[in-house]
Each structure stands twice: as C-alpha cells, then as structure tokens.
Amino acid sequence: MNHITKLLEKVNVNSFKDIQTRNYPAYIGMDTHKDTIVSSIATPGRTQPKHLGTIANDPKKIAIFVKNISTKFNGEVLLFCYEAGPCGYILYHQITSLGHDCMVVAPSLIPQKSSKRVKTDRIDAQKLARYLRDGSLTSVWVPNTEQEAMRDLVRIRLDFKIQETKAKQQINGFILRNGHIWPREKSRWSKGFYTWLEELKFKHPWQQVVLQEYFDALIGATKKLDQLCAYIQQVRMTWSQSVIIDSMRALRGIDTLAAMTILAEIGDFSRFEHPKKLMSYFGLTPSEYSSATKRRQGAITKSGNSAARRMLVECAWSYQFPARKTKHIKAKEKNASDHAKAVAWKAQKRLCTRYQTLIQAGKNKNQVIVAIARELVGFIWEIVIVETHKLKQAQSLK
C-alpha cells in the first residue's frame, strides 16, 4: 500500500490543480437550464454577489459572455461553476477551452438553509457564486470526451438489460395471473420454457396478442443486448484503457464487460487516495447513525455509482467457490501483467476464505456477497493505480 500511495502523490502533484486553493479576481455562479443561463458574480471579500443577467444557453452567446467578463478583469483567469445536471459537461469544456477554470458542482452537497422558502434562478446563481468564493462547494470529476462516450456505451447496454429483465417480469406476471404455472424444479428462459410459452392457449384471443407482444419485446431486447455486447468487445481494442482491462481481467469474476463498465463509470482512479474512499463512492459502505455511547449501523449507503456497484456485486458471486486457478482464469489473465496476476491470486485467497468464514458464522448470503464486493474494490484499486502509472510512463517515453 505504501508504494501505491507514493505513486498517487506523484500523480496528484503533477497532474491535478486544486482550484479551490487558488485566489481568483472573480467567482461566477451559473444556474443552467436547457434554454437559458442565469449568472451572478462574487468578488473577493464579504460583498453580496451581483446579478449579471440571463443569456441563452448557446455556445456563441456563452463565448461573448465569458469574453466580456474576462475583459473587465484584464483577462485574468476567473472561476466559474454550475450544478451537475442533464445538460452535461459541454459548458465546462467550453469555459476551460476559453482559458478559465470551471467547477461542476455536486447538487446534493450544496449547503442548504432550512429556513429559506423562496427559490428563484437568480437566488440560486447568487448562492452558487457566494459558496464558490467561500470554498464551500464540492466539485464532481469531469470525464474527457472519450471517457464520456465510453460511459454512454456501457450505460445503453445496461438500459437494454433492464428492459430485458422487465419484459421477463411482465411475462411471468401475465402467465401466473392467467393460471399457467411453470414447474418450480425446471429452469426458466431455457429453450423448453420458450417452447412452452409459444404453445400456451388462453380463453380470449386478445390475451394471446398480449403474450405475443410481451414475447416480442423480450426477444427484441435480448437481440439488441447481444449486439451491444459484441460491439463493446470490438470497441475495447481501440480504447486507450485496453491495457488496464487486460490486467483487470486477471481478477476472478471480472471479464471484459465488467472491467469496461467499472473503468468507464469511475474514470480516474487516482482521485481516490485510499480504497476506502472508492468503496464509499461505490456506495458499498454501511450506513451509520451513532450518538454518544450508542453505535448503530445499517444497510449500505447506496450513495455512489449504482451501475458500477451492480456490476461489482455480480462479480463478487464468483468468490463463493474455493480459490483455484482454473483453465478459464488462466486464459483470462493471459495478457495481464505479473503484478496484476499476483494481486488477483491474493484476492482469490482472501475473498474465497472470507466468504466461507462469514457464511459459517451464520451471516445472510446476500450481505456476505456485498461484503465481498466491498473488499474486491480494494484489489481493483491496487491493480488500476499501478497499471495506469505504467501506462502513463510508457506514453511519456514515446
């Protein structure tokens, strides 16, 4: 862990700029919408932020707006901010390309006054400018265009997976309330189950149409899902993170799709100084409500990235079996680095033993899997940090 911490310190010093420790001549808060942007400006000191007006959410209008403000402060670098939302990071990229700094703020972490009962775009913009000047805002990590495009790709696969699951639930509910029951000892969604569905008869002809529509929706979602998975496998070879994916595949339970999903959703692992912070980001740490001598812990927080958390829990199920290097695992880790292979084997020995220990202690199986997923994050973090450092070193030598 110590050598990884040193790597992180080196990366953070050379690659990241903490904009909140820098003094700016002006701080601009922007309340953004699809069509308009309402802005306010705060200057150093204790003066109230001033309202700047409303402009159209258009690249040309934004460029003129930024240029005019910059001119008033002799072209010095200014700090802008807006809340993360459906408009994405287009505004962030435009402002930074114009030579200024920008923060995309986490809405849930903006300080709120419970006594306030008036909300307007102007008040929101002034509040952002004031808190930005005070350093009270928390920024989110902004991916580059390639990272964001890959995240869109893995998320559309998840969308169709949810559609497929929903279609299966609808079919199960429909046939059950119409008195058709598939034997419990037989597996569903097999060739025999599909044949049985096609042969079902109902009292009214329109019920047959209902089943067929549900069935077509399921087939369509499954077909699209298979196409997307095949395309993701192709894209993986052209992605800049392909080498890191090879090393992540050394871990038991993690294939190409899981590795790409985790990397696309998390992005820069070096922003997490310790694996515990990454576990918290995944929402896998227990919630807690303690006071004085009472300590109460509950279910996991689920406060982080849900797509990555879901994938991690799926991967954790493979650790319920004894640790071993099977033919499949050896094939997966073929292109992984020696360091990744060593970490993967250490993870197997640790997590497989941990699973058996918790089960034998009488813990709930689902809770045990979540605990395994939480510890798996630490091994993923170690592999990605080291492999990313190697990749950056190789790129710098070219």
Domain ranges of the chain: 16-134, 145-236, 242-397
Distance between CA atoms of residues 51 and 43, nearest Å: 12
Distance between CA atoms of residues 254 and 307, nearest Å: 15
Helices (H) and strands (E) in the chain, counts: 14, 7
Give helix 306-316 / helix 256-266 axis angle, nearest 10°: 150
Q: What's the confidence (pLDDT) of residue 123? A: 94
Q: What's the confidence (pLDDT) of residue 297? A: 76
Facing residues of 32 across strands? 37
Q: What's the confidence (pLDDT) of residue 9? A: 59
Count of CB atoms situated within 10 Å of the CB of 130: 20
What string of DSSP letters covers 72-92? HTTT---EEEEE-STTTTHHH
Q: Which of 66, 54, 128 is nearest to 94 (CA)?
A: 66
Average pLDDT along the chain, 398 residues, taken 10 residues at a time: 62 51 93 96 94 96 96 95 95 96 93 84 96 93 93 95 96 93 91 92 92 94 95 92 94 95 93 91 85 77 87 96 94 94 96 96 95 96 93 79
Q: What's the confidence (pLDDT) of residue 49? A: 96
Distance between CA atoms of residues 248 and 387, nearest Å: 9
What string of DSSP letters covers 99-127? T-EEEEE-GGGS---TT-----HHHHHHH
**Domain at 16-134, CATH homologous superfamily:** ATPase, nucleotide binding domain (3.30.420.40)
Q: Which of 327, 325, 368 is nearest to 347 (CA)?
A: 325
Token pair 């923060």 is found at 103
Please give the DSSP secondary-structure letter assigned to residue 323.
Answer: P
Residue type, 275: P
Distance between CA atoms of residues 122 and 5, nearest Å: 43
The dihedral over CA atoms of 95, 96, 102, 104, expressed in degrees to the nearest 10, equals 80
DSSP-derived pairing of the beta strands 79-83 and 27-32: parallel
The answer to whether 102 and 96 are in contact (CB under 8 A) is yes
Facing residues of 39 across strands? 30, 53
pTM of the model: 0.87
Distance between CA atoms of residues 298 and 268, nearest Å: 29
Q: Which ranges of the chain does DSSP label H, i.e. alpha helix? A: 2-15, 59-72, 90-97, 121-134, 145-177, 191-198, 205-236, 242-248, 256-266, 275-282, 306-316, 327-332, 338-360, 365-397
Q: What's the confidence (pLDDT) of residue 288? A: 77
